[in-house]
Amino acid sequence: FPSHDNKIQDLGETEALVAMCHKNLLGNTELRQKMLNKHGLNEDTIRKFQLGLHPATKRAMIPIRTFSGSIADIRSYRYDAESGEAKIVSQKGAQTQLFTTCDISKETTVYVTEGEMKAMLLAQLGFPAVSSSHGAQSWREEFTHALRGKDVILLYDVDKAGRTAARKRCIELYKAAKSVKNVYLDCVQDIQNGDITDYFVKKHRSPQDLRELVAKTPEYVPPVSAPTFTFCTIVTGK
């Protein structure tokens, strides 16, 4: 597994800060309700992943930990981002991490999605999930190695960027994983940038619905290359 032991360098972002922001969020009923309404995340999940609320920036805080448990990044999310302002940002200089909701070494099947909030929701519903920490395009080769031998289920967004990233991920994972499924969430295609959160929160689908959708999704098989032909000139006698 990748080590991901590069701790963030900003001395202000420490375990103490994570604990303080977490306590601040637990005392903020309005934001906890917003997390439930928008992301489907309940209080148990907030506590499990030590989600927080920064008192100065008013951003929701998502600690990103290494496999050894140290903090490699703290992602901050603003619900009321103004025009031109990033909704979600990482610490300066933080390297892309594989955000995990479980010990993936003990799992035979792992779900891959776009974003930490979505991975946490899947985990809350009983699906061991991971996500790259800087968006669908931010995948590293070592993440592929971490999923070697697993049955990998891709649950990417239904927009163009999500489908493009999912196809690329299939190619990358095919030779390492035991199997790969690229699941299309057809019931959210009427929602702009529809995703797995919409599947559960807006469409009110159940975990069993997702299991059935995964079951009927065929395993990814690389496209067969077009055959090549060699042309030759046949000379016949007169």
What SS3 class is residue 215? helix
Strand order through the sheet with 88-89 = 52-53, 60-65, 71-77, 88-89
Average pLDDT along the chain: 88
- C-alpha 112/C-alpha 21 separation (Å) is 27
Q: Which residue has the higher pLDDT, 223 or 128?
A: 128
Model confidence band, residue 184 (pLDDT cutoffs 50, 70, 90): very high
Nearest to 64 by CA among 28, 41, 89: 89
Residue 212's region, left for phi above 0, alpha for psi from -120 to 50, else beta, is alpha
> How confident is residue 88, by pLDDT bands cut at 50, 70 and 90?
confident
Taking CA atoms, 34 is separated from 56, 116, 210, in Å, by 19, 16, 24
